[in-house]
Amino acid sequence: MSALSVKQLFAPISADMHAVDAVIRDRLYSDVVLIRQVAEYIIHSGGKRLRPALVLFTAGAMGYQGTQHQELAAVVEFIHTATLLHDDVVDESDLRRGSKTANAIFGSAASVLVGDFLYSRAFQMMVGVDDMRVMRVLADATNVIAEGEVLQLLNCHNADVVIDDYLRVIRYKTAKLFEAASRLGGILGGADEALENRLAAFGMHLGTAFQLIDDVLDYSAEESATGKHLGDDLAEGKPTLPLIHVMQHGSPAQAALVRGAIESGGRDDFAAVLAAIQHTGALEETRRYAQAEASLAIAAISDLPPSIFKDALLELSHFAVERNH
């Protein structure tokens, strides 16, 4: 799907998204100029806004009529942005969304500290919603995300990571915020516990599918489409699913090549590793995992009453797997 398709996908929530952007602009403000500069740079650098959209779509699917979903969508985007700022420092990345990362421009110290500002501003905003369940969902999510970041750090340069270990990192680090965003829409819309849990499951499976396709794109996409360097995961020694597949199903020589590349990091072996990935069908296998997750996401909301919002959530499940950026 193209960027236009994302725009079409978001058509039912376009007015809400404009309102969310206004909330973001308003709540980004700080008297400290550097905070404004860094925060505005990353917030306005062209992300897909999928996570805030999930809050809006699920609230819409529940028939919610207020404005708190706009505030919570902004909270979710702030939490996501804080994780990106910290992530890029940890990974020493210099390119995101086709532009220099904040740490490449402003330095690592400023990026970490402004990430902290965004986290704390998100908590100020969620307190304003004055709903203990909302606060619990977001507090739990941010804690699990932090655990996922540390788990990923421990996995780096570790060639003994198996698929279940890797999927656990995805569920903690990426899928948890998708899950929280989807659950929040249910809470605002007055969903009963069973339906709230199904919405949360939708988000979790969607987020997992989304990350698995990110892992595929790291070895297959056009750099201009993703806005990231190809082979970043390999350079950082991250054992993602395509690499794990080669180690489990490739020849002894291919497995040894990938193991060495993970343990040493860097891009020196990228061409040879890419050839092994292609030869073993690792990207196709990773796509199958992603497709299975998307199917579980679709099944989780099958009982939702028909609406343009439900249709958009189903389309989003297809987009997560079919996208090229």
Question: What pLDDT score does 3 carry?
Answer: 44
The per-residue b/e assignment along 17-53, b for 16 or more CB within 10 angstroms, e otherwise, is bebbbebbeebbeeeeeebeebbebbbebebbbbbbb
Q: What is the tally of structural domains in the chain?
A: 1
Question: What pLDDT score does 1 carry?
Answer: 43
194's tokens? 């069973």
| Spatial distance between the Cα atoms of 39 and 20, rounded to a whole number of angstroms | 16
Place of tokens 């398709």: 5
pLDDT in tens, 169-207: 999 999 999 999 999 999 999 999 999 999 999 999 999
299 φ/ψ sector (left φ>0, alpha ψ -120 to 50, else beta): alpha
Place of tokens 């270990």: 165
Backbone torsions φ then ψ of 119, nearest 5 degrees: -60, -50
Neighbours of 193 (CB within 10 A): 8
| Spatial distance between the Cα atoms of 220 and 266, rounded to a whole number of angstroms | 18
From the list 88, 84, 76, 48, the residue with the least C-alpha distance to 137 is 76
pTM above 0.85, yes or no: yes
pLDDT lower than 70: segments of the chain: 1-4, 46, 95-98, 221-229
Question: What pLDDT score does 4 carry?
Answer: 47
260's tokens? 């060495």
| Spatial distance between the Cα atoms of 119 and 75, rounded to a whole number of angstroms | 9
Chain-centroid distance of CA 201 in Å reads 15
Q: Give the helix/strand (H/E) hosting 135.
A: helix 132-155
CATH number (domain holding residue 17): 1.10.600.10
> Residue 290 sits in which domain range?
3-322
- At residue 190, what is the residue type? G
Question: What pLDDT score does 187 carry?
Answer: 97
The per-residue b/e assignment along 258-277, b for 16 or more CB within 10 angstroms, e otherwise, is bbebbeeeeeebeeebbebb
What secondary structure does DSSP assign to 254-303, as a single string?
HHHHHHHHHHH-SSTTHHHHHHHHHHHTHHHHHHHHHHHHHHHHHHHTTT
Are the beta carbons of 107 and 56 closer than 8 angstroms? no
From the list 45, 43, 76, the residue with the least C-alpha distance to 58 is 76
Question: What pLDDT score does 95 carry?
Answer: 67
